Amino acid sequence: MDFDALISGLDRHTLDGITRGSIYALVALGYTMVYGVMKLINFAHSEVFMVGTWTVLGVYTAIGATSGSGLAMVIGATLLALIAAMLASAGTALAVERIAYRPLRKKGAPALIFLITGIGCSMVLVEVFGQVLRVFFGRPFGRVTVNIPAVLETKTVFTIPGVDLAVSNTRILIIVGAIVMMLALDAFVNRSRLGRGVRAVAQDPDTASLMGVNQERVIMLVFVLGGAMAGVAALLYTVQYDITKFDIGFIIGLKAFTAAVLGGIGNLRGALVGGLFLGIVEVYASAVWDSSWTNVYAFVVLVVVLMFRPTGILGESLGKARA
């Protein structure tokens, strides 16, 4: 136990925690939106994120972006990768909805069945990247860690005076990017006409249909939005960590789901609060003990929070929050 290390480096650990938590929060949005509208945990969402990271690699490879490229190339490649990852992830989420959920919903299957088909979709996607694509295309597909070129190289942009904390360009991109996407999504759901439909279906699907809200379209919209956010998370993740792998989504998905529950599942702002809180708790725990204790500490905090706030830190669901 080394509390001195935590106290002396508190600023640094907080920044590390926010960076980690921003990515959790963006992935958590997908879980929380789907839950808010359908009361369903989409277990294939972790693979929606995974597809996004591979798309980033694909874009970089296709346009030949490598580390050390010129400024125009860096900006162009990053933006193109962002758009492609958002589209690919949203497309994957939509495909999962069409294949695994919609046919069952039409037949009125019990809620448990959706969980199983979701897990099934998740496994299929993992195996597609770990095995099937490898058989057809060879490398880089397969069950190994894959390098993604660091197109955006890490550089210190400024140092916070007083505490002497160096802030790099990648961290700024991750934190600002995550918060901007969150605010945009929050505004969309709370202000726009389509967003009102989402909240209406979340509150009371039957009444919403009677009022002329197309429930199927709302569900599609929710999967697309959640998928697009996972795509953003995928780009930010690759900017920070420069790798991908066929099962990369598993741990991130688990942590993001935890973050969603911690913040209050079904609540968009809860995902942000839960993600950042979980990220910071994990990094603090790793600083005091070591990283092999991260999960112990994180889940103890989850249990303690849920004991006192069973609906999560912010509680409430998508529909009830500022309906």
Partner 1 sequence: MIRSTKTWQAVALTAVAGLALSACGTTDTGGGSSGGGDEGGDCNFKIAAMGALSGPNASIVVPSVDGAQLALDQWDGGDCTVEMERFDTEGDPAKATPVATQIAGDESFIGVIGGAFSGETRATKTIYQDGGIPMISQSATATDLTQEDPVEVFHRLVPYDDYQGAAIAKYLTDEVGATKVFVIDNAEAYGEPLADRVEETLGDAMIQRDKTEVGQTDFAPTISKIESAQPDAIMYGGYIAEAAPLLKQIRDAGIDVPFIGGDGLYGADFGNAVGEAGEGAVVMCPCAPIDESSTFAADFEEAYGGAPGAYAAEGYDAMTVFLKGLEDGARDRAAMQEFVTGYTGDGLSKSIAFDENGDVPQDQVSYWAYKNTGGTLQPEVEVKPAE
Q: Which is nearer to partner 1, 34 or 287 (CB)?
A: 287
Tell me, what amino acid is at 165? L
Q: Least distance (Å) from partner 1 to the CB of residue 162? A: 18
Q: Least distance (Å) from partner 1 to the CB of residue 283? A: 5
Interface with partner 1 includes 215 (CB under 8 A)?
no
Interface with partner 1 includes 191 (CB under 8 A)?
no
Interface with partner 1 includes 242 (CB under 8 A)?
yes
Rule CB under 8 A: choose which of 30, 118, 140, 264 binds partner 1: 140
CA distance 233 to 189: 19
318: DSSP letter: T
Q: Least distance (Å) from partner 1 to the CB of residue 196? A: 24
CA distance 67 to 237: 16
Q: Provide the terminal-to-terminal Cα distance of the chain, rounded to the nearest Å.
A: 46
CA distance 28 to 32: 6
CA distance 243 to 198: 35
Q: Least distance (Å) from partner 1 to the CB of residue 122? A: 14
Q: Least distance (Å) from partner 1 to the CB of residue 252? A: 8
Q: What is the largest CA-CA distance in the chain?
A: 63
Residue 110: is the preceding peptide bond cis (ω within 30°)?
Answer: no
CB-based contacts of 222: which residues, under 8 Å, 6+ apart?
Answer: 33, 34, 36, 37, 38, 198
Interface with partner 1 includes 230 (CB under 8 A)?
no
Q: Least distance (Å) from partner 1 to the CB of residue 12? A: 5
Name which of 61, 57, 45, 65 is nearest 114 in CA terms.
45
132: DSSP letter: I
Rule CB under 8 A: choose which of 7, 98, 204, 309 binds partner 1: 98
Interface with partner 1 includes 186 (CB under 8 A)?
no
Interface with partner 1 includes 214 (CB under 8 A)?
no
Task: Give contact residues for partner 1 (rule: CB under 8 A).
Answer: 5, 8-9, 12-13, 16, 19-20, 67, 95, 98-99, 102-103, 106, 124, 127-128, 131-132, 135, 139-140, 142-147, 149-150, 154, 240-243, 245, 248, 250-251, 283, 286-287, 290-292, 294-295
